[in-house]
Amino acid sequence: MAKQPFTPDGVQAKVAELYALPDNELFDHADDVRNNFKGWMNANFDLSADQQAYMNTLNEDWIDLASCQLKISFKTKQPIYLAPVFGGGEWASKLAGSHYDMDCTSKEALLAGTGELTFYFKYD
């Protein structure tokens, strides 16, 4: 799979590529993103030097949360978005966040979910 730019359109293209994969391959990506968020991001997105530097400053607890949200979203094939970056300064300055609106159920070891996941990055 080709790397995509880390932009709203690039994220949509990557999600479309992932969801077109057979489930076993998609689930491998789900496990990879959960186990190595930064590595998975580097392997799947063409990050600029500023984006890479920013990625390296993210709080480990936030990464843990984001990787778990992505894993569940992948496994249930829910929409994932990157909100447009807003702010006025350098990429690597202030805030990373996510909005996770998902209902998940487990029955007989099967996972199902409805909702969506949106990531946003703000800098001043």
pLDDT tens digit sequence for 22-55: 999 999 999 999 999 999 999 999 988 888 888 8
Query: Which two tokens mark 57?
Result: 């400053």
DSSP 8-state code for residue 93: S
Which amino acid is present at 58? L
Place 122 in a pLDDT band, splitting at 50, 70 and 90: low
What is the SS3 assignment for 95? strand
Rounded Cα–Cα distance for residues 102 and 50 (Å): 31
Query: Which two tokens mark 64?
Result: 């843990």
Report how many domains make up the chain. Answer: 1
* Residue 118, domain extent: 4-123
Integer angstrom CA distances of residue 78 from 63, 66, 74: 19, 14, 7
Residue-level pLDDT at 91: 47
Please say if the pLDDT value at position 89 is more than 60.
Answer: no
79-101 burial, b if ≥16 CB within 10 A, otherwise e?
Answer: ebbbeeeeeeeebbeeebebebe
Strand-pair category, 110-123 with 95-107 = antiparallel
Residue-level pLDDT at 124: 47
